A and B are shown apart, each in its own frame.
Chain A
Amino acid sequence: MKEIVVLSGKGGTGKTSLTAALALVAGQELVVADCDVDAANLHLLLDPAITASADFFSGELATIHSDYCTQCGICVQDCRFDAITFRDSRHQLQELDCEGCGYCARICPMQAITMQTRKTGRVMLSHSRTGCGMVYARMEAGAGNSGKLVARVKQEARQLATATQIERVLIDGAPGLSCPVISSLAGADYVLLVAEPTVSSLHDLRRLYDVIRGFDIPMGAVINKGDLNPQVADELKSFFRDHAIDFLTTIPYDEQISGALSEGKTMAEINPHYYALIGDIWQNLCTTL
């Protein structure tokens, strides 16, 4: 089984748009996963039907046991997130403000505060409208993506692929370079880079390249909105050439694409030309892996 991770460095270059379009042309030949849960939007294009879901636990939440509380107020004073207040004649925790650091539990003289693992979201197993299995997550307010959650989504996607004898997992990765991105690279077989012809995209791509190189994973790239700036597009292509990154294709900037996306459709559904363009990328990936 092979894992392809779609990354970019700079956000907004078109990872999700491309992932959804690839899912459409690949039909049943893959399992797709959304590992960008801070701005999870793959489901907006793939309209999945949920088949199962499970709670995701991450970090901790304080619980104040009123029976043991002597109202001394030390926790109110010392909580650096101002998550404890005195209301309705007792000390209460504001859940949304609690960061789960555990300091209050340690300093409470009556040991009236305990820490509980915290449910921060749900992981969904689903079936995409394009015919493949899909794994994604929905988070509670205030919760965010983490290396742990990405690892969980990837694990579920691999298990789903194994169970259904599918050989390829396509992962819509997170933007940036931090834990969620590193976590998506661990165990991955190929990285598909999505760049746009802007100075920021090239800059962040260089940094992302250094991160990926540490993992020794082969890379391919697509330039999205490629005709917006031919000069930077050329700089990107030089960068790919100089660093053994397979340059796959350029996708033009086309308002038909943004139009399709706002209707919940992938770019592969606009016309046969785009379907073929995306189809070629998928064929290329299948041949390489």
Chain B
Amino acid sequence: MKLLFTAQKPDWDAQIDPRFGRAAYLVLYDEATGDLESIDNTEVKEVEHGAGTATAQRVFAIKPDVLITGNGPGSTAASILNRLPMKIYIGAESRTLREAYRLYQENKLELSDCHG
């Protein structure tokens, strides 16, 4: 499975970014290969308006299976993400990516019902 985290910095020990649209980095983890890839989201972070939809477009291009974030995308961004068969897990704020991944594996993250 490919997991995408909203992160404050691009590594496993960084804190999850509670924001979706203005997340500092989008970090993609491929469970099959073990690869960790980071996308700098600063360009979107700095837009005046429409950050959520712009980040959602980036996520759409990546097509992860799972998104792990803080309190989830807003409704407009969510309407873009809902077109993907992707699950959104929320409640990972104040955790590191490593901790959030463990919580996900232990089924302790909340599945966002804004998806579908």
Task: List residues of chain A with CB under 8 Å of any chain B CB.
Answer: 58-59, 146-149, 151, 178-179, 182-183, 185-188, 210-211, 213-217
Contact = CB atoms under 8 A, between A and B. Distances in A.
Interface stretch (B60-68, B73-81, B95-103): B73-81
A187 B110 contact: no
User: Which of B22, B72, B76, B110 has most A Cβ within 10 Å?
Assistant: B22
B19 A186 contact: yes
A14 B3 CA distance: 43
Interface of B: 18-22, 45-52, 70-76, 78, 90, 93, 110, 112-114
Contact of B18 (A149, A187, A211): A187
A179 B45 CA distance: 13
A147 B19 CA distance: 12
Nearest to B51: A147
A59 B46 CA distance: 9
Given A147-B21, A186-B20, A215 B46 contact: no
Contacts of A179: 48-51
Nearest to A154: B19
Contact of B21 (A183, A188, A211): A183
A214 B70 CA distance: 12
Nearest to B50: A179
Contacts of B22: 147-148, 151, 183, 186
A214 B75 CA distance: 5
A218 to B, nearest CB: 11
Given A59-B48, A148-B46, A188 B71 contact: yes
B20, B21, B71 — which one has the most chain A CB atoms within 10 A of its CB? B71
Contacts of B73: 214
Given A151-B22, A215-B72, A216-B90, 20 more contacts: A147-B52, A148-B45, A148-B51, A179-B49, A179-B51, A182-B76, A183-B21, A183-B22, A185-B71, A185-B74, A186-B18, A186-B71, A186-B74, A214-B72, A214-B75, A214-B78, A215-B71, A216-B71, A216-B72, A216-B110
Contact of A148 (B47, B70, B71, B110): B47
A182 B21 contact: yes
A187 B76 contact: no
A216 B47 CA distance: 25
In the A-B complex, the 8 residue pairs with the smallest Cβ-Cβ separation, listed nearest first, are A146-B48, A187-B18, A214-B75, A186-B19, A182-B74, A179-B49, A214-B114, A215-B71
Given A186-B21, A216-B71, A147 B112 contact: no
A172 to B, nearest CB: 19
Contacts of B78: 214
9 contacts: A146-B49, A147-B21, A147-B49, A179-B48, A183-B51, A187-B18, A188-B71, A215-B74, A215-B114
Contacts of A188: 71
Contacts of B20: 186
Contacts of B46: 148
A182 B74 CA distance: 6
Contact of A216 (B19, B48, B49, B114): B114
Contacts of B70: 186-187
Contacts of B112: 216
A215 B72 CA distance: 5
Contacts of B18: 186-187
A25 B86 CA distance: 45
A41 to B, nearest CB: 22
